Amino acid sequence: MLNKDYKIDASMFEMTQSDATIHDQKFETKPVGYFKDAWRRFKKNKGSVVAACIILLLVLFAIIAPLASKYELSDRDKFYINKPPFWRESAEKTALWGGTQTKEVNETMYYYLRAIGIETGLDPIVEVISESVQKVGAKETRYYKVKINTYYQLGVLNTITVTSEDYAKICEYQNATGRQVIYPYVEDKDLAGDSALNPDTIKGLTSTPEAGGNYWYKVKNLKGLPEFDSNGNFKPAYAMQKNGTLYSEYNSIRVASDPYDASVPNSGYAYAKKNQSGYDCRINYWEYYIYKNGHEPMYLFGTNEYGQDIFNAIGMGARFSLLLAVCVAFVNMLIGTIYGSIEGYYGGATDMILERVSDILSGIPTMIVVTLFNVHIADEVGVVPAFIIAFVATGWIGTASLVRKQFYRFKNREYVLAARTLGASDARIMFRHIYPNSLGTIVTSSVLVIPGVIGSETMLTYLGIVNLSSSNTTTIGTLMEQGNRCVTSAPHVLLFPALFLALLMISFNLFGNGLRDAFNPSLRGSEG
């Protein structure tokens, strides 16, 4: 408490800057805008920054992968089906992209694979891991656990018919490059060894093009166990040469000037057998693939059940899924913004009527909407447009509700009242004064719509409810559905699309949370 006897004297005060003109001090730092301030806050969230980088890499993958791939989505190889990742140049240096599978095979299959390597020079057996003998009664069976190159395993195809023109071109290619595509023709009757098997019953070994073409050696039983000579080597079953010697230089290039004619005894090597439409040939598919495509097989992510390059297919599927999601998110934001701003700005009866419409639409399950549009509209407008319309039909409701809340929050602020007093129109107040202050929340909500659309699209295509696959279109869900059918025999077909989807969904959610915290610091850490 102040002492009553204490007196304040004027001499106790001193005037300051009495002879100076005082001005406001100039800011030493540059002013920070709304978006710059949000960017500063976003950079502090390391998880969201990493997620944004991953999203950028995935988007770049979707753009670059189809351009970098040697294949189109329409390229389908009927022999290289569900093959693991393979790149020969890398496989020779590292264990990656070796195109290998580990299997346990019996003795017959083991020698069958060895014979492929002897004839073609491309040995399917990369490594013999272990060897065991299983005994059932008095019978012993030898088994080998081996690592197999699945691309070399195909070997030589049997009885492939080519036209006379193609046969001449292949022969010309062989002579020019020194790469052997056509191998000597083998008659079924020549496969029978010293056991004198019935030629009619031995045809079972060569009945399939994929397996039968690799029987170039004599066998001693119908299981295909090879018959060896005194030195332990395979006995060739090729046709006799004019001088009576057998074809024994397995890897040399020998192109017959004339195809084999079975009616002429000892007419030379049986390089091809003439028929009405051309020639039946034994073709080394590895070399034939190079002849047709101009390069060796190179599938960085392997192939699926249609023989498509998964690397290219994921890129094309990601393109479609991202474009679909961005398109749906943009349309939903546009419709939701207009609808929600009208609700929130005018309120009253207008708000009540529009809210009841939203309530009715939101009560319809999305899956039912998509199914109905797919069944009744897809035939007229197309599957993809019908799919987009189905997502937009109810997808804007969430954005409209959020915009409505923001307009209720800001419409009675002082700057809005000042604008109204100065004669600003409703449209100007709504979209020049209120909407910019709500933009951060709306953008954040729209970004989070993208993973939701991708997840829904993947689920619907994975379950087969909607089929978006065609000769030049695919989706991540379609690729996962294909992989699910062969998950035990070829897990890579499901692994790569699922990994891409998981990274995309997790990254988008982390990125969206980071945007929410940046634009709305008051909501930091909340789930809404």
Q: Is pLDDT above 50 for 163?
A: yes
Contacts of 2 (CB under 8 A, 6+ apart): none
Q: Is pLDDT above 90 for 268?
A: no
pLDDT band at 242 (very low <50, low <70, confident <90, very high): very low
Give the residue-averaged pLDDT of 237-241.
56
pLDDT band at 267 (very low <50, low <70, confident <90, very high): very low
Residue spans of alpha helices (H) in 93-161: 107-120
Percent of the chain with pLDDT over 90: 20
**Residue 86 pLDDT:** 92
Instruction: State how far the Cα of 47 lies from the Cα of 513, in Å rounded to an integer.
Output: 10
pLDDT, tens digit, 9 for 90 and up, residues 152-161 = 999 998 878 8
pLDDT, tens digit, 9 for 90 and up, residues 352-386 = 999 999 888 888 887 788 888 877 777 777 778 88
**Residue 260 pLDDT:** 39
Mean pLDDT taken over the chain: 81
**Residue 439 pLDDT:** 77
Determine the residue type at 216: W
Q: Is pLDDT above 60 for 440?
A: yes
**Residue 262 pLDDT:** 42
**Residue 515 pLDDT:** 84
**Residue 56 pLDDT:** 94
Contacts of 511 (CB under 8 A, 6+ apart): 48, 51, 52, 55, 447
Kindly give the pairing relationship between strand 86-87 and strand 100-106.
unpaired
pLDDT, tens digit, 9 for 90 and up, residues 61-116 = 999 999 999 999 889 998 999 999 998 877 766 777 888 899 999 898 999 999 99
Please tell me the least confidently modeled range out of 41-50, 135-144, 289-298, 425-434: 135-144
pLDDT, tens digit, 9 for 90 and up, residues 21-34 = 777 777 677 777 77
Q: Is pLDDT above 80 for 145?
A: yes
Give the residue-averaged pLDDT of 443-458.
84
Instruction: State how far the Cα of 514 lies from the Cα of 34, in Å rounded to an integer.
Output: 16
Q: Is pLDDT above 70 for 246?
A: no
Tokens 């074809």 belong to 247
pLDDT band at 51 (very low <50, low <70, confident <90, very high): very high
What the block records as the tokens of 474 is: 């695919």
**Residue 522 pLDDT:** 59
Q: Is pLDDT above 90 for 174?
A: no
Contact between residue 474 and residue 316 where contact means Cβ atoms under 8 Å apart = yes
pTM tops 0.75: yes
pLDDT, tens digit, 9 for 90 and up, residues 182-225 = 887 777 777 876 666 666 667 777 777 677 788 888 888 878 88
Q: Is pLDDT above 80 for 476?
A: yes
